[in-house]
Amino acid sequence: MGMYSEEINNISHKSRETLFEFAVMDERQAEETAYSNYSYWRSTWKSFLKNRIAIFLLVGVLIIVTFTILQPYLPAQKSPTEIYLDEQTGLQARNIAPNAEFWFGTNSIGQDLWSRIWAGTRTSLLIGCVVALVEAIIGISIGTLWGFSRKLELPITQLYNIVDNIPTTIVLILMSYILRPSVSTIIIAMCITGWVEMARFIRNQIVILRDREYNLASKCLGTPDYRIIVKNLLPYLISVIMLRLSLAIPFAIGAEVFLTYIGLGLPISEPSLGNLINEGRVLMMSPELRYQLIFPSIVLSVITIAFYIIGNSFADAADPKNHV
């Protein structure tokens, strides 16, 4: 059979005798588990860190956002709305290509493009973040109730069906007619229809989780519904919520650009990425003036691509199966 008992010959005979006495059994030692210090968030973070591109973009986005906020306080910045006059002619400094004075040049009515772009980015980011946040809050609240409460399931489903079937564009047009075009109008209009996706998503996750045994156990212990939702269900959803948030931001920014294209965006007096791109769009054909389109487009593209990649990398990192 191939099994031998001669392996012990290397131990000296004398010491062997004492070794054959009974050892004292330590019960605590027996109970100590293989302490696995697996922390879900630590593993997620580590997994995320392995993705160099995502880290690079994350840093890039953070730099852009910080700069956007700090830009007005830096020295030698111009006002985004002031129409600059050419010192020599006294006329409006129109369509000046990028030079030492106007780093990004000026637009067709003489405004400094550099400060306009950063002001526009500020506005667009504000819209994006607020919309994403409000959508998340409304979406999570309604989605949770929808998925968890058997009584509310039917009415909310009907509500969802109605709201989902109304074309977003129509709502936006209506809102823009009723309220004057402004940042808050756009935010309200986008939130009215935007919560639906998040609600449906959260509801699906809740339906999957609500019948798991640990929730049954909580019910048997008499735990009230709100505490089951907060302590048993939502902690599992944090990673997916963060993912959807990070994707909602560029989506909202893009929606704002779209609205501006169809004329429902912000007034021209308020700079936003949508406005800037729209202005630049008409000048696309003339090569000297193309810069007015290129600069805002680059900023928009960088933000959008960065958020998408960061969001998806985070989703991959948050998947427990990738934690090996």
Q: Which amino acid is it at 100?
A: A
Looking at beta carbons only, is 192 or 233 nearer to another protein? 233
Q: Is 25 in the site for another protein (CB under 8 A)?
A: yes
Measuring CA to CA, which residue among 40, 51, 52 is closest to residue 323? 40
Binds another protein by CB under 8 A, chosen from 91, 221, 269, 285: 221
**Residue 224: exposure state from Cβ atoms within 10 A (0-12, 13-18, ≥19):** exposed
CB 172 within 8 A of CB 228: no
CB 102 within 8 A of CB 95: no
CB of 6: closest distance to another protein in angstroms? 8
Looking at beta carbons only, is 70 or 217 nearer to another protein? 217
CB of 150: closest distance to another protein in angstroms? 12
DSSP 223-234: --HHHIIIIIIH
Judged by CB under 8 A, the stretch of 11-19, 64-72, 150-158, 185-193 that binds another protein is 11-19
Judged by CB under 8 A, the stretch of 16-24, 80-88, 115-123, 291-299 that binds another protein is 16-24
Looking at beta carbons only, is 56 or 231 nearer to another protein? 231
Q: Which amino acid is it at 168?
A: T
CB of 158: closest distance to another protein in angstroms? 21
Q: Is 87 in the site for another protein (CB under 8 A)?
A: no
| Torsion on CA atoms 40, 306, 271, 287, rounded to nearest 10 | 180
Measured CA to CA, the distance from residue 195 to residue 202 in angstroms comes to 11
Binds another protein by CB under 8 A, chosen from 74, 100, 220, 285: 220
Q: Is 26 in the site for another protein (CB under 8 A)?
A: yes
List b or e across 77-106, with b for residues whose CB sees 16 or more CB atoms inside 10 angstroms: ebebeeebeeeeeeeebebbeeeeebbbbb
Q: Is 73 in the site for another protein (CB under 8 A)?
A: no
Polymer length of the chain: 324
Q: Is 178 in the site for another protein (CB under 8 A)?
A: no
CB of 143: closest distance to another protein in angstroms? 19
Q: Is 23 in the site for another protein (CB under 8 A)?
A: yes
DSSP 278-299: HHHHHTTTSGGGTHHHHHHHHH
Q: Is 50 in the site for another protein (CB under 8 A)?
A: no
Coil, strand or helix at 68: helix
CB 179 within 8 A of CB 188: yes
Interaction residues for another protein, span 229-248 (CB under 8 A): 231-232, 235-236
Binds another protein by CB under 8 A, chosen from 56, 67, 214, 261: 214
Which residues contribute to the site for another protein (CB under 8 A)?
1-8, 11, 16-23, 25-38, 40, 43, 212-214, 216-224, 227, 231-232, 235-236, 323-324
